[in-house]
Structure 1
Amino acid sequence: MVRVAYLFIFSNIFIIFTPDEQYYKRRKEINTVDRFLWNVSKVFRVSYWYLATRLGVKNTTALYLCIALLLCMIIMGIITHLVHWFFIFPSLGPSVFLVFYFPSSPMSSPKNTILGHLAGVFFGLASYKLWYFLGVGSHQNIILASSGLSMGVLGLFMIYTGILHPPAASTCLIASLGLIKGITPIIGMMASVVLVCLIGYVLNNLFGIEYPLWNNGEKVPLPKAKTVLGDVQELETDDHVESIAAKLAMRQKLDDED
C-alpha cells in the first residue's frame, strides 16, 4: 500500500514538472530572441571604443573621420542635387570637421553650431546693409567696412553669450561681403547646418561616441593667454575666496619664475 502511495506521488510530480508543448515553444522563442540580439550586438563591434582598443586611438580617429566626412558630404550632395538649394557653402566644411573630430566639445554641439551660423548670417547681413544705406563710397569700401564691423560684433557676441563656433565667422564674412542675395540662400544655409547636426548625431552615436541632441551642458572654457610675464586665465567661479586664491597662486608663480 505504501509503495502504491509513493508511486502515485512521484508520478504526479513527474507530470507536473515535465515540460509540455507550450514550454518548448516558449523556450524556442526565447532562444530566437537571444540569438537575434546576439547577432545585432555584433554590429556595435564597429564602435569607436572597440576599434580604438584594436587599432589605436590615432588610427581609429583618422579612419572614423574619413568615413564620417565622406558619408556626410555625400548625403549633403545628394540632397543639394535633389532640391536645387544652396545647401553646400564654404564655411560648412569646418563645421562638419568639428562635429566629427571634436564631438564632445561644446563648440561642436548643435546649439553652438546652429546659433553660431545664424548669428554670423545676421551680423554679416546687418553690417552690409548698414554701410550700403550709409553710402560710404564704392562697393569695395562697403565690403571692407562691413567685414570689419560684422566680425568684431560677432566676436563680442560669441564671447559674452558663450555660443562659440569658429566656422560661423566664415559665414559672417560671406554675408558681410554681400554674397547672400535674398531669403532663399539663408534658409538653405541654415537647413544644411541643421542637417549636418542631425547626421552628426546619428553617426556619432551609432559608433558609440556621445553627441548631444542640442547641448551637452558644458561651457566653452575661456582661452589661456601666454604672456611674457606668465599665463593669464580667468577662473570661472562665483566664490570670492577661490578667485583670490587663484590670483595669489598666479602671482606666486610669477614671483617664482622671477
Structure 2
Amino acid sequence: MRFTRRIAIVSLTLSILGFWQATFASPGNHSLLKSEKTPAPWEENACPGGVSQTLRLGGEVNNPTTFDLQKLINLQENLKNQNPAVVTEVTVSFQTGSGPRTETYYGVPLWELINNEISSGGLKAGNSGQNPKNAFLRQYVLAEATDCYEAIVSIGEIQPNFEGKQVLVAFAKKASDGSIQYLTDTDEGFARLVVPGDKAGGRYVSNVRNILVLSGPASPLKPKYFRQP
C-alpha cells in the first residue's frame, strides 16, 4: 500500500514539474524564446539583398566555380568561338508588377554554363532514384538572389534534345539608345536569369548570387497518398 502511494506521489511531482517546464517555455516568457531564436553566426545576414557582384556555380557539376562579370564576358566569347551558332542574345516580353516589359538581353546560355567543359566541366550525374533511365530529367537548376528569392528551371527545359529553351544568364541588355548596357549599371545585379516564353517575370531572377544543380528526391509515392478502392 505504501509502495503504491509513493508511486502516486512521484507521478504527481513529475506532472507538476512538467507543467512548470511547459510554463517556462510558454509564449509569455519572451526572454527564453528570444535566446532560443538567436541565429547562428553563419545565419546572420543570410539574405542582405542588394546588388550582386559574383555568382557561385555548384551542386551536380564537375567543376564548381565562381563567376564575376569579366569571367562571364570571357565565357561568352569562348562559347562563341567554340560554336558560332550558340545563342547569347534573346529578346523577351514579360509581365512585371509595374507592367509589361520588352528587353533584349545578352549573356551565357544556362545550359552551356552548367554543361560545357570550358565553364563548369559538364553536368555531373545526380541522384538517379530507383530507375536510372534519363536521370538528368530529375535534375533542376536553382537560381538564388541576394535577398534569397529563388526559382528553378528543370534540366529537361534547357536540354537541347528536349525543350531546348534558350534560358540565359544575362549580364547586359540593350539600352534605349541601342547601345549595350551592363547590368552592373542597373538595379538588376551583374547577372540575372532570363526565361524566354514565361509570360510573367517570376523566374527572371535578378541579382543572382548562386546557381545550383540538384536532383529531385526519390518518389515519395505510398499507398497512403491514394484513395483505397
Q: TM-score with structure 2 length normalisation?
A: 0.29
Report which of the two has the higher share of strand.
2
